[in-house]
Amino acid sequence: MSKSMSRKEKALKTLAVYFTRNGCIRWADLDARGKLGYNKYKKGYEVRLVAQDEKEMAELEKALKAAGFRHGKPYPKNRQTIIPIYGREQVERFVEEVEAYAG
């Protein structure tokens, strides 16, 4: 990374690396929500980033903070830790800002 990169740009680059490795996005199905109603269809917008160990977890949390994203409570899944980012605005901003750094 060049020295001219800002802290936020470095953070977005880090997020792009982790996301392209094995992250995913869930988009809300507004048709299903309309048909089933909110009480039955509660799946919303979410980005999932995967940390394979404590070092990656710390790096991801630091990058998320530097890039201005609020994340949900990390949870274990398949011997890894998922760090979720919830909400339509945050997911759309994540896609817009991180996509530029994804190779």
Q: What is the mean pLDDT of residues 49-75?
A: 97
Query: CB of 58 within 8 A of CB of 88?
Result: no
**What does the domain layout of the chain look like in residue ranges?**
23-99
Tokens of 76: 């274990």
Distance CA 44, CA 18 (A): 22
**Alpha-carbon distance 62 to 56, whole Å?**
10
- CATH 3.10.180 is the classification of domain 23-99: no
CA pair distance 103, 101, nearest whole angstrom:
6
> Do residues 85 and 97 touch, judged by C-beta distance below 8 A?
no
Q: Per-residue pLDDT for 1 more than 60?
A: no
Decide which of 35 and 19 is more confident: 19
Residue pointed to by tokens 């089933």? 36
Q: What is the mean predicted confidence (pLDDT) over 12-28?
A: 93
pTM over 0.85: no
